Chain A
């Protein structure tokens, strides 16, 4: 009976979504959403006022927002305050995991297998490669797909590999906590510097340079590297908490 009621409820909700997709003017049909019809065009033209100067890769200088990756321009520049709140949410969830699973007498969980020779040597070789890929993604977030969030998670994944390859390995969690606090405080400090110099919180006060070069986009690469460090250390803390348990 309960399952039948749940089935009816789900069908009604899904039917309402599908019906409202076809009978309104807010959502366009699938595949017909042209950004030049609405506000998203401003993010592509890099101009919230309506004068349309052309943006040309490798030539345009001193635009309103510098990155060649338009998604990065939205995440780290136009909606940077939003991103600050979002990494705060991740910080609070990492804090909650540490409160629930942390404690005094904690030991590393025994995974019940002995790592063989190939795994031990191969993990050491792969660790550097994965770590470098993560750092590359965080540093080049304004030019290529990627950015601080996948880059930071990749840094945490390289440490997860070390955890899996060695049964007694533990990171120095305190130093990661220190790095996390430093990254968060530096983000807020950059925002306050923008408030002092430019008049708005998180205002881009450095010159944005030529679009498409590595040293461009002002404070955005700095912010994305800080986000990468913060996300990486938070997720490393979560992994460490999940792989410990109370001493028997």
Chain B
């Protein structure tokens, strides 16, 4: 047995699992994250997969990855660079080396590093010999051969046997991070509940990986990441898409309005539809429509009958839904439109993240067509913002667009489990049967919301539709003055939502040298960069916006008293443009990245320092 020369205690570690799409790296990744959560680490994960289902094996295009960031300290992003890289083949190595820290531990499946393999990956020379791995702690593990010999006794077919290799990888990491093997074994038993014949072989491979790590000299270093300081209580690991789906369910339960999701599959929003399609027991109906238009239209129909109507999509789908959003605006029906942003235009970068649908959400419709726009800022708070979107939609009788993005949707983080009864109540503006006072477009004097009278209710028959309606009575009207009044009413109704949402917060001093402004999914990176600079003594603050339209009431005050302001976003500057039109008194610098990738903390810090040092 090799002696462990050193146990290194770390505040946080980033592990990247990379291999062919079929190598099961997503599973190794989630197994490792669950195990870390069990021992109380804070965590954030991000899968990174190609848009092709099975791109050619062994090529860069086919590399699928899963990054896990665990910490004793607070963890807000999946991390910039990896401390440990698992590369199942040369392509995985090549694609990830530049995202790996100098001196990192790199575990490779040596069985896949012959000339055949490295040429496929685009290497002309053997990467193990060309000096490119110098300075790294390279662990050459015969993962394929050892896995094969381990499972030989179970009589699995070759394909199934190959699939257990990810457990070898997991085993190595259990040793490396000093993890309890029981957790891994339980994970496997749970995972293969429906295929008990796979449980034993997978556990055997897991142990083989562990034993291998323990016996080889190269693994003389172990890492220790102690439990996080994050509060006490019950937590779960949740992705943004799952949290979005569950937030809608919570709003449905709290409002007493059954949930109806009309949707059409599109990356990276599909999991919302999938997740809700298994929620029939919670009275949720999912309608997989023939296209995005039918998806939203069926949801509008559902809202008309008194359900919580919702639709989920991504950029190209939002474009198709534009006309129907206008219909929900003019009929003043509640509707939640979840748009999981991805790189555009057109099909663009389907599996990559971007924040470039902001203008589309705000303005991408014909006519004066105001809607409320919210943006979630972490995977877990997609739950809260989906809930709030539904609450605002129902109480203010309006469509609400919730923006998330590919990064939030697929990423996950540890989340303190809330109780439904602790969420703000939702009060639908329903009408009593035979209410003689009911008029379709009579408004609440404070919120300007109209009432929700449902087909089937006695004495409330009325008609809604896309033609302009007379104020109060709801009769079709082309009267010029009435149209202007109705346009202004609809705009004012959205504006008044600012009376019902929280004030914008600032992380840091209300007066600083540099105010960093972000919105939505960039929160983790911006927060970490700003926090680290604050700790280094810089005068820097962060305002991360989640209520986009209307903006919080104190937005102008938030902008005041800073020497400079910089708006950081993953697009060409859409929020900056919006702020310039809404709060024109100030100058806004911009930092934009349009690579389909999230911000790196390091690049943000470099940029902010540059500005701070000029002041």
B and A form one assembly: no
Q: Which residues of B contact A (CB under 8 A)?
A: none
